[in-house]
Amino acid sequence: MRTGLSSYLQHIVSCLLFIVAMGMLAFRRREPGAMNERGWRFIRYSAGVLILWSMASLLVRYFGRRHGMVEAMNAGGWSGPIRQLDGSMERVLVYLDKMDHVALLSAVLLLYFGLRILLDQARESRESVVERRS
């Protein structure tokens, strides 16, 4: 596992690129009214949750390097102790970092539901085109 400044900078750059990519997915659509469709709304919510997750990850890494939270975050595996931190905000950030799978699971579920709705709409429109031809 890499440690040090290069790993920290790689993490920052990757998080920023991910935030930009998800922002483009969520807020940039060329067809007017497409974002009001139900499927695209779910995809947009998913991208929003992923943006929040990435921003929280950036905050945790920033505070981890500045305030010594890294030792607290790497205290153990499934049930390791987390040492007491000075501020309650740092404590919340450590728990957010440890529980990031909750945000990721909800984002994946939102993406699945959005894609599922878009697929159902595409099937319905295809069936109506086939019926019109016959």
Identify the pLDDT of residue 1. Answer: 47
Q: Which two tokens stand for residue 40?
A: 């695209």
Identify the pLDDT of residue 25. Answer: 82
Cα(47)–Cα(111) distance, rounded to whole angstroms?
A: 8
Identify the pLDDT of residue 114. Answer: 93
Identify the pLDDT of residue 106. Answer: 94
3-class state of residue 134 by DSSP: coil
| Residue in the block written with tokens 């950030």 | 93
Identify the pLDDT of residue 11. Answer: 80
Cα(103)–Cα(109) distance, rounded to whole angstroms?
A: 10
Identify the pLDDT of residue 95. Answer: 73
| Residues of the chain where predicted confidence (pLDDT) is lower than 50 | 1, 72
Cα(35)–Cα(25) distance, rounded to whole angstroms?
A: 11
The stretches of the chain forming alpha helices (DSSP H) are: 5-27, 38-67, 70-73, 88-98, 100-133
